Amino acid sequence: MKATNIPYSFNESDDRIREVLDGTDQSFEELDQIPDSERLTFANGFYVNCVALFIDIRGSSKLPEIHTRPVLGKIYRAYISECVALMNQDANCREIFIEGDCVSGIFNAPYKSNIDTAFFRAAQLNTLIKLFNYRFEQKGYTPIECGIGLAYGRALMLKAGYKGSAINDIVWMGDVVNTAANLCHQGNKNGQKPIQVSSGIFINLKPENQRMLSPVYTTLGSLVGSPDQYEANLIDPAMEKWIADQKMKAQALASLFGTQPNSGNNLLGLGLSTLRRGLFDL
């Protein structure tokens, strides 16, 4: 939100506070899916079913010790641009947020099939990291690792900001958002796999997608015998195949010209993988 620098009035501020606090509880409507954002005002809100998807770079605080600021700018710009592009393709994606090197999306999920689709987006994001590292290595940049968190539940959708100033945004509040952020923080850390999924996601997935996930137990979860969450290291085979094809082309060019595949601007791949139909666990 861009600032407009309107002078602040303490009396007007108090009026706005009282107007918000005097609103009725009936202004917050329960819905099964995300409504058009135009229905939001500064006096209402909606409780909705949704999926929250987060991705974040692991160890990003160390990157300034390795790369110059221009290189960091290019790494972050490429990473943020394509994470946003990948989420944005989904017809159910309603909001995308950028906070530092964390990119998150809110997805409409009135049906179970929408949850399977969001699960596939998580696998695509995980494969996208391979593409980044494929290009980064060409340039001599440090490869990155990311954590990805996915949760399903109800969130409160609000219009928040400074009334009358044209400074406002949609805010999503609730356990589903907090859970996805926490799961993202755990991904690719302390031996855990990149994709961390809430139990709410797991129970709503198709059986074939459930079988791709492994249970994760905390101390409390172990005591009651119930997983606290699930994890996987999944990829999109079509994206993986594209990367593998680039490696083959780079190797062919290297053989033709007598150069190394990873020299200069030649193409460098990440290695061929055994491909299956649909998602699969690495």
The torsion angle over the Cα atoms of residues 163, 168, 169 and 173, rounded to 10 degrees, is -40
**Is residue 41 a part of any domain in this protein?**
yes
pLDDT greater than 90 at residue 102: yes
Quick one: how far is CA 184 from the chain centroid? 8
If one counts the domains in the chain, the total is 1
Q: What is the extent of the structural domain holding 259?
A: 26-281
Domain membership flag for residue 91: yes
User: Model pTM?
Assistant: 0.85
| Residue 274, domain member (yes or no) | yes
Would residue 180 count as lying in a domain? Answer: yes
Average pLDDT rounded to a whole number, residues 130-145: 90
Across the range 222-228, mean pLDDT stands at 73
Extract the runs of DSSP E, i.e. beta strands, from 133-261: 146-162, 167-173, 195-198, 214-216, 229-232, 234-235
Measured CA to CA, the distance from residue 121 to residue 208 in angstroms comes to 16
In percent, how much of the chain has pLDDT > 90? 57
Instruction: Tell me whether residue 11 is in a domain.
Output: no
Domain-located, residue 208: yes
pLDDT score at 269 = 37
Q: Which of 10-24, 27-41, 102-116 has the lowest mean pLDDT?
A: 10-24
145, part of any domain: yes
In a domain, 259, yes or no: yes
Nearby residues of 203 by Cβ (< 8 Å), 6 or more positions away: none
The mean per-residue pLDDT over the stretch 165-186 comes to: 91
Query: Where does 146-277 show beta strands of DSSP type E?
Result: 146-162, 167-173, 195-198, 214-216, 229-232, 234-235
Report which of residues 12 and 234 the model is more confident about.
Answer: 234
Averaged pLDDT of the chain: 86
- CATH number for 145: 3.30.70.1230
| Rounded Cα gap, residues 210 and 216, in angstroms | 13
Please tell me whether residue 50 adopts helix, strand or coil conformation.
strand
